[in-house]
Amino acid sequence: MLRSMNAQLMQRQLTRRQILGMVALQTAAASGLTRIGLQSATAQEPAAVDNAPAIVVGSGYGSSVAALRLGQAGIRTIVIEMGRLWNSPGPDGKVFCSTAAPDHRSMWFRTRTEAPLATFLWLDVVNKDISAYPGVLDRVHFANMSVYVGRGVGGGSLVNGGMAVTPLKSYFSEQFPTVDADEMYSTYFPRARSMLGVNTVDPAWFESTEWYRFSRISRKHAANTGLKTTFVPNVYDFGHMQREAAGTATKSALAGEVVYGNNHGKRTLDKTYLAAALGTGNVTIHTLERVTAISRATDGTYQLTAQRIDDTGTAVETKQYACTYLFLGGGSLGTTELLLRARETGALPALDASVGTGWGTNGNVMLGRANHLWDTVGANQSTMPVLGIDDWANTANPVFAEIAPLPTGLEHWVSLYLAITKNPERASFSYSGGSGGSLALGWTAAQSAVSAAMAKKLFDRINRANATIYRYDLFGSPSRAFADDFTYHPLGGCVLGRATDNYGRVKGYSKLYVTDGSLVPGSIGVNPFVTITALAERTMARVLVEDTAP
Ligand code: FAE
């Protein structure tokens, strides 16, 4: 088995370290271990306090970069992830369940799924009852906004659409005026893209395949409106996708798999950064452990408390950790919660007043259009979007709208979009309830309405030019055309240069860093993970040179 796995991995030109890491992940999964490292096969008795020079919270984009670069620098590092490792197959032989037949693996401790598209023809046919389990997709609810996030080793990479977009340099500079954009675009964005395995669809195949008919129809309607579309790179292996279409590889993107995980084809972080991090031999990942508190001892070391949970969600152990260097990569929600709790409970009282502020949805709005009978979108649709309508340069109403699939296996004449609008609205989190308290988000429905109005302006033009209308049946009841009450792109809460210095070092405390989406001030104009990864690369390059010298 190992030989065939190695052959597959070599084919994808992985490094020796990635291969070692993949073997460690495979071994841990096969043995049901929650501690993953090169030594994970040997029994390790945990100490009362687990000490490591560096601890990384979370295993999404920012944390995976931190783990790899720390491991390469020879620094022993523990990664603590609240979700599970996703690489051992269930009884159906698959690691992840499909969107069409969701089961307990789909969502984080739910008894019913909460898919973004709730209904079809207003019918409650999308969501299903499931049993509670540490599933891969979570939807975190606040008063007027809910936030989708990935849970597991690999964070959001496990559930996202893989779109790997580098923002416009001018908009990046607008959002990050203190960051050297030339250096970002010459060094850190290319580094991030290369590590993530970004590739692009073969244009000839795109033009001919039934699987992207839905994109070509939307492109035609955009062109009829005088709008331009652009190809969007992805981390899904398009070679694999073409083999899926040809019937020579097991279908994943072409089998409706995405938000509850892809069984094949997608280069998730556990196959890229995290595999390489484990391969250094210096990184161990602890799964199913949620960090609940951070503080600092008088000698300057950071102390962490974590709850280890079992598959029912019951806390089975409270663990204590200590480290010299603490990297927070729990995502916009996870990191902001830990820092706000630390500030508000007095554990880290010197944290800056701006922690918890500058949060936005990246202007996300989802919507559907109803096409004419002759404009079929195809029963067969790839789940990986590859085309976007780019009207960002329209200063009166900047919008970048990705053309999203709606793979039902039936012709439905729906064109679906996730619009990223330049919504300037920002909100703050507040924290109450002492050490066991939780976050509240001050985002209002009126702030969402700004995104919806911008999307409407663009799509009214498209509907007018094509004599088409919106779909009102897709987002539950009451009828509405725009889903502006959820986001896939939570950004901010610990904004670079405000709550941190210009490199993610948290103000008020040394050797404490933020490396994730909470650094981005609410909007980046495109899908955000390439930016988050590149910023984390920049932070690690600086920190390892300046902060870890003996
Ligand atoms: P993230 O990837 O969310 O990782 C944070 C990790 O930390 C998670 O694994 C958490 O379980 C873990 N964690 C949080 N709190 C704790 C704690 N207290 N203790 C232990 N562990 C903790 O963070 N972006 C794109 O660029 N392209 C796309 O196509 C795209 N599609 C998306 C589709 C969906 C359905 C979703 C949900 C998101 C999508 N995104 C997409 C957004 C993207 O996945 C997201 O911006 C990044 O994952 C954020 O990266 P972070 O490193 O900030």
pLDDT tens track for 194-216: 999 999 999 999 999 999 999 99
Pairing of the two strands 486-487 and 146-150: parallel
Q: What is the 3-state secondary structure (H, E, C) of 496-538?
A: CCCCECCCCEECCCCCEEECCHHHCCCCCCCCCHHHHHHHHHH
Whether 493 and 429 have beta carbons less than 8 Å apart is answered as yes
Global pTM exceeds 0.85? yes
**pLDDT reading at 30 higher than 90:** no
pLDDT of residue 1: 35
Here the tokens at position 300 are: 């300057």
Going from the C-alpha of 514 to that of each of 72, 74, 387, 527, the distances in angstroms are 19, 20, 32, 20
- Cα of 45 to ligand 1 centre, how many Å? 31
The residue that leads in pLDDT, 409 or 12, is 409
- Cα of 222 to ligand 1 centre, how many Å? 30
pLDDT of residue 241: 98
Instruction: Tell me if 57 CB under 6 Å of ligand 1.
Output: yes
Which residue from 501, 529, 524, 523 is spatially nearest to 513, judged by alpha carbons? 501
Q: How do residues 152-168 score in pLDDT, each as one tens digit? A: 999 999 999 999 999 99
Instruction: Tell me if 493 CB under 6 Å of ligand 1.
Output: no
Q: How do residues 437-466 score in pLDDT, each as one tens digit? A: 999 999 999 999 999 999 999 999 999 999
Catalytic residue numbers? 402, 489
Q: Residue range 247-252: average pLDDT?
A: 98
pLDDT of residue 23: 84
- Residue 166: partners with Cβ closer than 8 Å, 6 or more residues away: 185, 189, 193, 526, 530, 531, 534
Instruction: Tell me if 470 CB under 6 Å of ligand 1.
Output: no
The atom of ligand 1 lying closest to the CA of 163 is: 29
Helices first, then strands: H and E counts in the chain: 13, 20
Q: Residue range 327-335: average pLDDT?
A: 98
The β-bridge partners of 148 are 139
Whether 150 and 158 have beta carbons less than 8 Å apart is answered as yes
Pocket mutation for ligand 1, best pick of 34, 50, 61 (most atoms within 8 Å of C-beta)? 61
The atom of ligand 1 lying closest to the CA of 153 is: 9
pLDDT of residue 43: 42
Instruction: Tell me if 156 CB under 6 Å of ligand 1.
Output: yes
* pLDDT band per the 50, 70, 90 thresholds, residue 25: confident
The CA-based dihedral angle spanning residues 407, 383, 103, 135, taken in that order and rounded to the nearest 10 degrees: -150
Pocket mutation for ligand 1, best pick of 438, 488, 513 (most atoms within 8 Å of C-beta)? 488
Instruction: Tell me if 290 CB under 6 Å of ligand 1.
Output: yes
Peptide bond into 478 cis (omega under 30): yes
Packing angle between helix 529-546 and helix 189-196, nearest 10 degrees? 110
The residue that leads in pLDDT, 8 or 461, is 461
Residue corresponding to tokens 């993953």: 36
**pLDDT reading at 399 higher than 80:** yes
Integer Cα distance of 526 and 534 in angstroms: 14
Packing angle between helix 213-224 and helix 445-466, nearest 10 degrees? 80
**pLDDT reading at 545 higher than 50:** yes
Whether 221 and 462 have beta carbons less than 8 Å apart is answered as yes
Mean pLDDT for the chain overall: 94
pLDDT of residue 46: 58
Instruction: Tell me if 532 CB under 6 Å of ligand 1.
Output: yes
Q: How do residues 171-197 score in pLDDT, each as one tens digit? A: 999 999 999 999 999 999 999 999 999
pLDDT of residue 122: 85
**pLDDT reading at 394 higher than 70:** yes
Instruction: Tell me if 443 CB under 6 Å of ligand 1.
Output: no
Whether 358 and 339 have beta carbons less than 8 Å apart is answered as no
3-class DSSP assignment, residue 223: helix
Whether 338 and 356 have beta carbons less than 8 Å apart is answered as no
What DSSP assignment string belongs to 141-171? E-SS-EEEEE-STTGGGGTS--B--PPPHHH
Integer Cα distance of 256 and 408 in angstroms: 8
pLDDT of residue 13: 57
Integer Cα distance of 528 and 166 in angstroms: 8
The atom of ligand 1 lying closest to the CA of 530 is: 26
Residue corresponding to tokens 């094949």: 264
The atom of ligand 1 lying closest to the CA of 149 is: 37
pLDDT of residue 8: 44
The atom of ligand 1 lying closest to the CA of 234 is: 29
Residue 486 C-alpha from the chain's centroid: 14
In this structure, what DSSP letter does residue 371 have?
Answer: P
The Cβ of residue 132 has, within 10 Å, a number of other Cβ atoms equal to: 14
Pocket mutation for ligand 1, best pick of 81, 165, 384 (most atoms within 8 Å of C-beta)? 81
pLDDT of residue 12: 53
- Cα of 7 to ligand 1 centre, how many Å? 30
What is the percent of the chain with per-residue pLDDT over 90, rounded to a whole number? Answer: 86
Q: Residue range 346-371: average pLDDT?
A: 98
- The residue contributing the CA closest to ligand 1 atom 33 is 160
pLDDT of residue 42: 41
Q: How do residues 209-235 score in pLDDT, each as one tens digit? A: 999 999 999 999 999 999 999 999 999
* pLDDT band per the 50, 70, 90 thresholds, residue 348: very high
The atom of ligand 1 lying closest to the CA of 259 is: 35
- The residue contributing the CA closest to ligand 1 atom 27 is 163
Of the options 3.50.50.60, 3.90.1640.10, 3.20.20.70, 3.10.450.50, the CATH number for the domain spanning 7-43+50-86+267-358+491-546: 3.50.50.60
pLDDT of residue 193: 98
Domain ranges in the chain are 7-43+50-86+267-358+491-546
Integer Cα distance of 6 and 517 in angstroms: 33
